[in-house]
Chain A
Amino acid sequence: MVATRWVDRAVDALAAAAFVGMFGCVFGQVIFRYFLGSPLVWSDELARYLFVWASFLGWIIAARRRSHLSIDMATTRMGPRGKAVIRLIGALAALAFAAILVFYGWRIMQRNLDVETTTLFFSMGVVYAIVPFAAIAVGLYALADLRAAFRAFAPAPEAPA
């Protein structure tokens, strides 16, 4: 549990850093263009890539806090067993999609390792690296969810050892 808390914190910090960086690029762009009279060349592109990163990191945080949108009109009236089934389906769907993204995300990252960005020093592979990374994290949350759903199936908990 200590390890997961450490990972959660790292994700939060990285997410905040990406967001602040993105905001800094946009605001800096305004300052440099209108007030200092010398437009930045790279701010637009860097802001966009940081947005890609922030979006995937936000995806992880939302998965951890279970705030992704779903349509739960059918589930609100169900009993604990029905809810466990719904939770199982949800976890399986999230897991399947995460697995797809890990597989193809890894490949697209490798393919883009020597594709250069337009104005920046790193390759497009760095931008795409967030895809398999975020998918692994989301997949792990989905696995934990799956375990919780299975546990809810067991009608009465056995006597604690």
Chain B
Amino acid sequence: MIELMLWILAAWFLALFAGPTIYAAMGLAGFAFLVISGIPGIVIPQKIAMAANSFPLLAAPLFILMGNLMNSSGISVRIFEFAKSIVGWMRGGLCQANIVGSVIFAGMSGSAVADAAGLGTVEIEMMKKEGYDAETAGAITAASATIGPIIPPSLPMIVYGVAAETSIGALFLAGVIPGLLMAVALMMMVRYLAIRQNMPRHPFEGMGALWRSFKGAFWALMAPVVLFGGLFSGIFTPTEAAAVAVVYALALGLFVYREFRFADVPRIIVDTVETSGVVMALVMTASLLGYCISVSRLPQEFGGTLTHLTTNPIVYLLIVNVLLLVVGCFMEALAAMLVLIPILVPPAIAMGIDPVQFGLVFVLNLMLGTITPPVGVVLYVTAKVAGVPIERMSRAVAPYLIPLFAVLMLCTFWPPLTTFLPKLLLGR
């Protein structure tokens, strides 16, 4: 059965390049496996429907709604204005502001694509207006959008936590330090590039402007406080925290910033159901394929082969890094994650790697995959927003891969970077 599964996985991977939707290809791959190995097909609707029958996973659509509400409430402009008045005076100041803005936005949104399409649209437009070329603006937007799912809340972490049975709260906390490190590393790279490419710079606008932009963004800046206050004081589960955050975002948009009206809410909700439908179609069919993978005993075989190769956690993490970076180039992040979790996680646990550290390294790898060609969702979104051909965008984003890769290596070699905060606050 292992051989059959390997053939099916290979066929599935190749078939994807003929352009069918990933979820349908995954479902058909699962069906093929079940038919050939004589397992009744009734498990198909059962696995698929029950994948959504999960309270922790319910946090995902709620965070998607929160992101949509935040994007419609005019918060992105305020956040970018605030970021601009903090770091805009540096050379390449709007690139720096782009990174700072992404960090702030990351605290209320959990998806890199949402960051790139929402905040990114505002950022790229303003940067073009200030004399930056479209590639520079698009590249830093794409690179900094990868911080979004590392700093909590995070859609990939929720899905990872559910699929790998790891605490979502701990995964969220584990992302805080690496997310901030990514920002610092990207800012250093911008500084280097800004001097070489002679990017524009503007004078400091003064403390008054800083204070005004801070006041403008204040309620937006409080969103993560509301979210994490409840989450990490143990009052709410991540799903409940997400629901509370949705109410906060709704109140902000309707009553404080008044950027949308009650009549707009149904449209925002239907858009949210659509986006969660896209995510859930992947999660549900991947859960079917994941079931088939475990039935085939591929994970055990892989684990057995692996222990002949190495029992050193660091070596294993490096192998996983290489594998995920390569897969991340050619596969959509969520689908890759869901298919590989049942295969890669058990050996990691057996070798004594902290599941939280492994989760973070896993997600970080796949986020790098979203900005590497040929298959990179974030790259495509920002190229579209900036109006730049994908080839030029790929070249412009390349220098930013270096600092992000450096952070990935730090997280790989030094576990406390990811495990310190969860241990401190959750006492695990």
A residues apposed to B, CB below 8 Å = 12, 15-16, 18-20, 22-23, 26-27, 29-30, 34, 44, 47-49, 51-52, 54-62, 65, 67-75, 86-87, 89-90, 92-94, 96-97, 100-101, 103-105, 107-108, 111, 127-128, 130-131
* Choice from A67, A90, A97 contacting B274 with Cβ under 8 Å: A67
Tell me if A131 and B277 are in contact (CB < 8 A).
Answer: no
Residues 45-93 of B at the A interface (beta carbon under 8 Å): 45-46, 48-50, 52-55, 57-58, 61-62, 65
- Give 10 nearest A-B pairs by CB, closest first: A58-B277, A93-B20, A55-B280, A68-B21, A26-B243, A86-B19, A55-B52, A62-B277, A93-B24, A58-B273
**B374 in contact (CB, < 8 A):** yes
Residue of B nearest to A43 (CB): B55
Residues 344-392 of B at the A interface (beta carbon under 8 Å): 374-375, 377
Residues of A within 8 A of B27 (CB): 97, 100-101
Residues of A within 8 A of B280 (CB): 55, 58-59
Residues of A within 8 A of B377 (CB): 69
Tell me if A131 and B281 are in contact (CB < 8 A).
Answer: no
- How far, in angstroms, from A34 to B234 measured CA to CA in the complex? 12
- How far, in angstroms, from A72 to B390 measured CA to CA in the complex? 13
**Chain A-chain B contacts (Cβ-Cβ < 8 Å), number:** 186
How many Å from the CB of A131 to the closest CB on chain B? Answer: 5
* Choice from B20, B44, B244, B277 contacting A27 with Cβ under 8 Å: B244
Considering residues A29, A69, A92, A104, which has the most beta carbons from chain B within 10 angstroms of its beta carbon?
A: A69
User: Hey, what's the 0/1 contact readout for B299-336 against A, CB within 8 Å counting as 1?
Assistant: 00000000000000000000000000000001110010
Tell me if B273 and A54 are in contact (CB < 8 A).
Answer: yes
- How far, in angstroms, from A15 to B65 measured CA to CA in the complex? 14
Residue of B nearest to A131 (CB): B45
How many Å from the CB of B192 to the closest CB on chain A? Answer: 31
Residue of B nearest to A72 (CB): B19
Tell me if B45 and A105 are in contact (CB < 8 A).
Answer: yes
Tell me if B21 and A22 are in contact (CB < 8 A).
Answer: no
Tell me if B266 and A16 are in contact (CB < 8 A).
Answer: yes
**B141 in contact (CB, < 8 A):** no
Tell me if B55 and A47 are in contact (CB < 8 A).
Answer: yes
Residues of A within 8 A of B374 (CB): 73
A47-B55, A58-B280, A74-B18 given; name 15 further pairs at CB < 8 Å: A26-B239, A30-B244, A52-B53, A54-B61, A55-B280, A68-B22, A71-B16, A74-B17, A90-B24, A92-B20, A93-B20, A94-B24, A97-B28, A100-B44, A128-B49
- How far, in angstroms, from A117 to B240 measured CA to CA in the complex? 23
**B42 in contact (CB, < 8 A):** yes
B residues apposed to A, CB below 8 Å = 16-25, 27-28, 31, 41-42, 44-46, 48-50, 52-55, 57-58, 61-62, 65, 235-236, 239-240, 242-244, 246-247, 266, 269-270, 272-278, 280-282, 284, 330-332, 335, 374-375, 377
Tell me if A61 and B282 are in contact (CB < 8 A).
Answer: no
Residues of A within 8 A of B19 (CB): 70-72, 74-75, 86-87, 89-90
Residues of B within 8 A of A104 (CB): 41-42, 44-45
- How far, in angstroms, from A75 to B332 measured CA to CA in the complex? 16
Residues of B within 8 A of A87 (CB): 19
- How far, in angstroms, from A51 to B105 measured CA to CA in the complex? 26
Tell me if A70 and B16 are in contact (CB < 8 A).
Answer: yes
Tell me if A94 and B54 are in contact (CB < 8 A).
Answer: no
Residues of A within 8 A of B45 (CB): 101, 104-105, 108, 128, 131
Tell me if B62 and A12 are in contact (CB < 8 A).
Answer: no
* Choice from B55, B62, B240, B276 contacting A55 with Cβ under 8 Å: B276
How many Å from the CB of A16 to the closest CB on chain B? Answer: 5
Tell me if B269 and A19 are in contact (CB < 8 A).
Answer: yes
- How far, in angstroms, from A96 to B23 measured CA to CA in the complex? 12
- How far, in angstroms, from A97 to B45 measured CA to CA in the complex? 11
How many Å from the CB of B56 to the closest CB on chain A? Answer: 10
How many Å from the CB of A82 to the closest CB on chain B? Answer: 10
Tell me if A127 and B49 are in contact (CB < 8 A).
Answer: yes
Tell me if B58 and A108 are in contact (CB < 8 A).
Answer: no
